Structure formats: C-alpha cells, structure tokens
Amino acid sequence: MSNPDLLSATKALARIDLSDEDATLELMIAAAQADVLAAAGYTLAEGASLPSDLAYAICDQAAMLFDARGGTEDRPMGLSLAASRIVSRYRGVRVCLPTSE
C-alpha cells in the first residue's frame, strides 16, 4: 500500500472528510508506520508492498494518534488495540530451555 493509499484508508477509518489536516495526518502515518513495523520486527524491502493486515494496523494507529492530537498530554503510549493484536502475529516466540551442565 502506498502512502496516498494509506492516507485515504486512514481518513476513511478516522472518518475525516476534509483535506485540511492531510499534512498532519501524513506525519502521523509515518510515525505509526515506524511504530508498527518496529513492533512487528518487519522490514519493508525497497519497492515491496505492505501486507494488508499491517497496512490496517498502521491506519488504526495513525487514527488513534489523530484522535489524541492537541491534547494536554504527550502522544499516547503504545499501539492501538487492533495494531497490537495484528503485530503479535509477526512477532516470533522463542523458547529458552535451561541448559543442563
């Protein structure tokens, strides 16, 4: 999904009709993409497209950041609920067994 696609999907998810805050929303999408991909441990190859579930997680995270804009507190900590559930599918689980010496 390209950046214009993420912008239109995020605007639809957050129910934003006007384009007055597109520049702000694009910054939030970039921050959300960095957060989601880092949490998932996913590296996006040059020219590759995002999996659709990660693209939705980015849109949901950006919508959460947009909803919290202008508040008296800093940006929300952590991922949105939907983004954290999607990201958990990409994280590997390691089992560390005790070594017998």
Reported as a single tens digit per residue, the pLDDT across 41-68 is 988 888 888 899 999 999 999 999 888 8
Query: For the CA atoms of the chain, what is the radius of gyration?
Result: 16
CB of 66 closer than 8 Å to CB of 25: yes
Task: For residue 101, give both structure tokens.
Answer: 């010496």
* pLDDT tens profile 88-99: 988 876 677 777
* pLDDT tens profile 10-30: 999 889 988 888 898 999 999
Q: What is d(CA 52, CA 49) in angstroms, rounded to the nearest whole number?
A: 9
Q: What is d(CA 23, CA 15) in angstroms, rounded to the nearest whole number?
A: 16
Q: Does residue 101 belong to any structural domain of this protein?
A: no
Full domain range(s) for residue 24: 3-88
Q: Does residue 94 belong to any structural domain of this protein?
A: no
Q: Does residue 50 belong to any structural domain of this protein?
A: yes
Confidence band, pLDDT 50/70/90 cuts, at residue 77: confident
Domain count, the chain: 1
Q: Does residue 93 belong to any structural domain of this protein?
A: no
Question: DSSP 3-state assignment of 23?
Answer: helix
Question: DSSP 3-state assignment of 57?
Answer: helix
